[in-house]
Every structure is written in structure tokens, then in C-alpha cells.
Amino acid sequence: MTETDEKSRLVGMNHVALEVGDIDAALEFYGELFAFELRGRGESMAFIDMGDQFIALSEGRAQPPDDHRHFGLVVDQRETLRKKLDEMDVEVLDTPGLDFLDPWGNRVQVVVYRDIQFSKTDEILEGMGLEGLDKTEDAIEQLRKKGLAGRGS
């Protein structure tokens, strides 16, 4: 029996849970930045759909802003987002990419789909209205090295 037979294999990320001060304010804030569908809503929770994944917003953040702890969001492009963050006077951190703090101190790192090895199936992209998103050759090569890209990729 191999080591992987004795352990569960990581398959992906289902969701990320963010603690925020107020659900309505969080939905308004993130709604100004991103186009999304609301998957569901409760009194102190809301679920932002990202195709086959989601962000769970939970009311009740009490800790100080995050310095290094963060989560990464994948977007189709970030130029529009960068402009919107500037317009909204959101704190953008001094990093090589695009990192910002939401009003509750959650650190968000934004990466572009074409540049990273993260992939969605064609069916999921189509269902999200994002068909035709391509990958850079570097991202495809990273996937190939792991045996995760087809020959035509």
C-alpha cells in the first residue's frame, strides 16, 4: 500500500469563509468590485457563487487586519478591478501583484486566470459565461509538468 492509499487526497477548494462586520455591507462592497451571483443568504451568512466554488461571508469578525494570512481570488482580468479599488479608496497593498484589504481587514490577493495553473473545465467556464479564457504558455507548461494538461493545451 502506498502512502497516498493511506491518506485522503486533496482535490480542490470548495469554499473560503470570510468573517465580516456586516453581511449587507460586505455584499455591497464585494458587489462593487466583482460581478457575481448570490448562492444563498441567511441572517448572518451569505454565499457568493464562483461557479463550482463559493465564498461564505460570515458576520462577526473580531480580529485585527490580516498581515500575511490571505486568500487568493482568480479573475478573468484585473485592470478594471484595480481602477475600481482606486475609485473606492480601498487600501491596496504594496506587492508585485494586486493585494488589498477589505473593510474588515481580510487580505485578498487577486490573480489572473490565464497566468496560473488553476483551471476550470470548459463546461464550467461556459456555465459561468467565461468561455474562451486562455492560458499563458507558462501556465500551460506548469500544468503539463504535472500531467494536468492535454496535448492540445
Query: Identity (one letter) of the amino acid at 80?
Result: T
The three-class DSSP label of residue 140 is helix
Q: Which of 104, 106, 110, 37 is nearest to 73 (CA)?
A: 110
Distances (CA, A) of 104 to 26, 65, 100: 9, 7, 11
Q: Determine the residue type at 65.
A: P
Average pLDDT of every residue of the chain: 91
Which residues on adjacent β-strands are paired with residue 112? 75
Pair 85, 100: CB distance under 8 Å: yes
Tens-place pLDDT, residues 36-45: 999 999 999 9
The H-or-E segment that residue 32 falls in is: helix 23-33
Q: What is the per-residue pLDDT for 148?
A: 85
Whether pLDDT at 27 is above 70: yes
Residues constituting the chain: 153
Grid coordinates representing 110 are 487577486
| 114 grid coordinates | 490565464
Q: pLDDT tens across 81-98, in order?
A: 999 999 999 999 999 999
Instruction: Give the separation between CA 60 and CA 31, rounded to whole angstroms.
Output: 19
Cβ atoms of 114 and 136 closer than 8 Å: yes
Q: What three-state secondary structure class fits 151?
A: coil
Query: pTM, whole model, 2 decimals?
Result: 0.86
